[in-house]
A and B are shown apart, each in its own frame.
Chain A
Amino acid sequence: MTTLPPPAAPLAPPNPDALATNAMITVNEVSKFFGSIVAVSDVNFAIDGGVTALLGPNGAGKSTLFRMICGLTAPSKGSIRVLGSDPRTDRTVRGRISLVPQQDALFDHLSAIEMVQVSANSHAMPDPKGIAHWALEQVDLADVGAKTVGQFSKGMRQRVKVACALVNDPEVLILDEPLTGLDPVQRRHMIALFHALGDAGRCVLVSSHVLDEVARLGSRVLVIAQGRLVASGDYRDLRSLMDDRPLRIRIGASAPRRLGTALVERGLVTALSLDAHNGPGHLIVDTLDADGLGRKLAPIATELDIRLTEVSPLDDDLESVFRYLVEGR
């Protein structure tokens, strides 16, 4: 586990010794290798009922971790317990888990109601047709249940997948990027549904690579980057940590050296360099007070009679957040 840089309120690194043995999902020292590629490395966590968000950039190992939790692939090292059983080998526990896979895969020749009915039948549910109707109602697709899913938009297909996952009233619900392709209204609707399930005691584990989504998904966050669990804890702590990190900004100006000197003198930047890659009129600054810099930059430029040509953040993306969490830079 990488030690986080010292934030104001540090996120709790998962402690293997503290893993609850009776948690709904227990991931213990789990690694997954594909040849020489390490997809997941020494991951530990235990989670119980409620909504937990798994946050990580694309390729971080989220889907591989989810596949292992569902038993679709075995860990190369370590062990996973879901509801006290090994999901890879225990057949009955699979009836208590549901997965919304990331891939856009459905039986395209079936209607939505048939697709969800197949899912209900495959869980040996009584009254599969009634359950399928109920599940489609949950995702606002009851009206179009007779249409074949091959004709559906990406967002509708995503909701069919969620409906399929609801039919068995799962105790553990794993959702791999379930909000992809949904419009804002449907996103809100889905998030409310996940919270309702979590409030009902279900263990809902949702992955996302979008920070704002995670903010709405739940307060509990697992952060995974480069196959490693780099942090876990409350989302607000993560947000605070991100807000406290230095931001790097490129500034284009008619007199970059003079502007840079003024910014340093007034304590608005912590580091500064001339940006040779973008021509002579640019400098790159690091700041801990992006808001203050934003407010004062234009007045300072006016005062010094300097023309600003560009102000753009260089690391306001998720990758840089993870880089900061993992590497402290």
Chain B
Amino acid sequence: MTDKTQALRRPASDQPTTERSVPALAALQLSYRVVLRQLTSIARIIALTLLALVSTVAAFALGRSDADLEAAVRLISALGFAVVIPVVSLVFGGAAVGDLRDDKTLVYLWLRPMDRWPIVVGAFLAAVTLTAPITLIPVVLAAVLTGTGGGIVPGTIIAGVVAVIAYCAVFTLLGVWLRKVIVWGLAYILIWEGFIALGGAGVARFAIRKYTRSILVDRTGVDLDLADFSTPVGIIVPLAVAVVALALGSWRLSNQDID
């Protein structure tokens, strides 16, 4: 056992200053690394990869049946952009800060001399790091396997990247704000985007899916309902939503009670 008087003598070079504060970039890296390790569960990654591969398998089957471009776009939109990317983003984005809140480890980042926004942005980037390869590779591969050409692959890449960023940011915000984020996130995906937002162009403006569909439609020329924005609008609005979501999440994290 260490003698206490001796033990409490720290190396002189290690003595802290009273005005110590963590630079934003260092805080962001720390949050990113901690959350990435926290989110990286083999079982979760395998399960979500299998989900994402459903779109690949379906596209492969479609490609073998000589389907046209419209059918391919509808498939990518219905499976890739309506299910795979939102659900995987929900799992990782919602858990990014939400898991830290739920298991009460958030205090190890919160009660520190650092800004709040790097915690949220680092967590968001960790969610994107996992969501992007798990979703984009199978979905883009699906677009390739349809064998229809006609801009579906670049359209899927652009819309996919935009979707991953926007969904991860929104679900990171939900994880900061709400408990049971999976329930709320599924309600958003299934009820709002999958049902209510299909009711009209006005409501659809408040659904990320409308913008990703618009990019896909704009790049392929296929006519889908409720997808009438240009590619620049389809990119800028979801990215702006992502920025606002992260800003709101940072504000909320600064002001909420921490367990």
Measured CB to CB, the residues of A under 8 A from B are 67, 70-74, 91-97, 99, 101, 103, 105-107, 109-110, 118-119, 121-127, 130-131, 134, 137-138, 140, 164, 168-169, 171, 189, 192-193, 195-197, 200
Contacts and interface: CB of A to CB of B under 8 A. Distances in A.
Contact of B105 (A72, A99, A107): A107
A92 B22 CA distance: 9
Given A91-B114, A107-B38, A168 B8 contact: no
Given A101-B107, A105-B105, 10 more contacts: A91-B114, A95-B16, A107-B34, A110-B37, A122-B30, A124-B26, A127-B11, A131-B14, A134-B14, A140-B1
Contacts of A99: 107, 111
Contacts of B37: 107, 109-110
B23 interface: yes
A122 B104 contact: no
Nearest to B109: A122
A195 to B, nearest CB: 8
Given A73-B257, A122-B109, A168-B20, A101 B2 contact: no
Contacts of B2: 137-138, 140
B108 to A, nearest CB: 6
Contacts, number: 121
Contacts of A118: 30, 34, 108
B105 A169 contact: no
Nearest to A94: B113
Contacts of B1: 140, 189
A138 B7 contact: yes
A70 B257 CA distance: 11
Q: Is the interface on chain B under 10, 10 to 19, 20 to 34, or 35 or more residues?
A: 35 or more
A95 B8 contact: no
B110 A72 contact: yes
Interface in B245-259: 257-259
16 contacts: A72-B107, A72-B257, A73-B257, A92-B19, A92-B113, A93-B113, A95-B19, A107-B108, A109-B37, A109-B40, A118-B34, A121-B26, A121-B30, A126-B14, A130-B11, A138-B8
Nearest to A164: B108
Contacts of A105: 103-105, 107
B113 A124 contact: yes
B65 interface: no
Interface in B186-203: none
Interface string B86-120: 00000000000000000111011111111100000
Contacts of A74: 257
A71 B14 CA distance: 26
A94 B104 CA distance: 18
Contacts of B16: 95, 123, 125, 168-169
A127 B14 contact: yes
A37 B38 CA distance: 35
A103 B7 contact: no
A124 B14 contact: no
A73 B8 CA distance: 31
A200 B8 CA distance: 9
A71 B4 contact: no
A70 B14 CA distance: 24
Contacts of B18: 92, 95-96, 171
A95 B103 contact: no
B259 A103 contact: yes
A101 B104 contact: yes
Contacts of A196: 4-5, 7-8
Nearest to A134: B10
B11 A91 contact: no
B23 to A, nearest CB: 7
B21 interface: yes
Contacts of A126: 13-14
Contacts of A72: 107, 110-111, 257-259
A274 to B, nearest CB: 49
A107 B40 CA distance: 12
Interface string B54-88: 00000000000000000000000000000000000
Contacts of B40: 109
A196 B4 CA distance: 6
